[in-house]
Amino acid sequence: MSADNWAECPKCKRDRETKLAKLDADIASQYGKVTVEAFDELRRRATEERTAKINLHTFREDYEIGVYDGEFYISYTGGCSVCGITHSFKHEAKLDLA
């Protein structure tokens, strides 16, 4: 069965942003402490990492919404195939037929 949607994983996105910020901090901390060649190599690796094609749309979503047999329902499950976070939500309510 195919997914209803592949969303950007919020945890993987946050982890990537943290990783890139750490790379920038590492480079800044090395300024003036290493050779120019070593510093350029750090910057080259950071640029390579920053421009790498990383698929963050790893959060599989499956959902249903509708009315069945007099009840409104929502069913949602989502989970990331990389970091493993999950979320689910279900709600059912009788329709007001008054």
Residue 29: CB atoms within 10 Å: 11
- Does residue 82 belong to the site contacting Zn ion (CB under 5 A)? yes
Residues touching Zn ion, count (CB under 5 A): 6
- Does residue 78 belong to the site contacting Zn ion (CB under 5 A)? no
- Does residue 80 belong to the site contacting Zn ion (CB under 5 A)? yes
Torsion angle of the four alpha carbons 30, 31, 33, 37, in this order, in degrees rounded to the nearest 10:
90
On whether the CB atoms of residues 76 and 89 are closer than 8 A, the answer is: yes
Q: Which stretch binds Zn ion (CB under 5 A): 1-9, 32-40, 67-75, 90-98?
A: 1-9
Q: Which stretch binds Zn ion (CB under 5 A): 12-20, 23-31, 45-53, 68-76?
A: 12-20
- Percent of the chain that is helix, strand, coil (3-state, to 5): 40, 35, 30
Which parts of this chain interact with Zn ion (CB under 5 A)? 9, 11-12, 80, 82-83
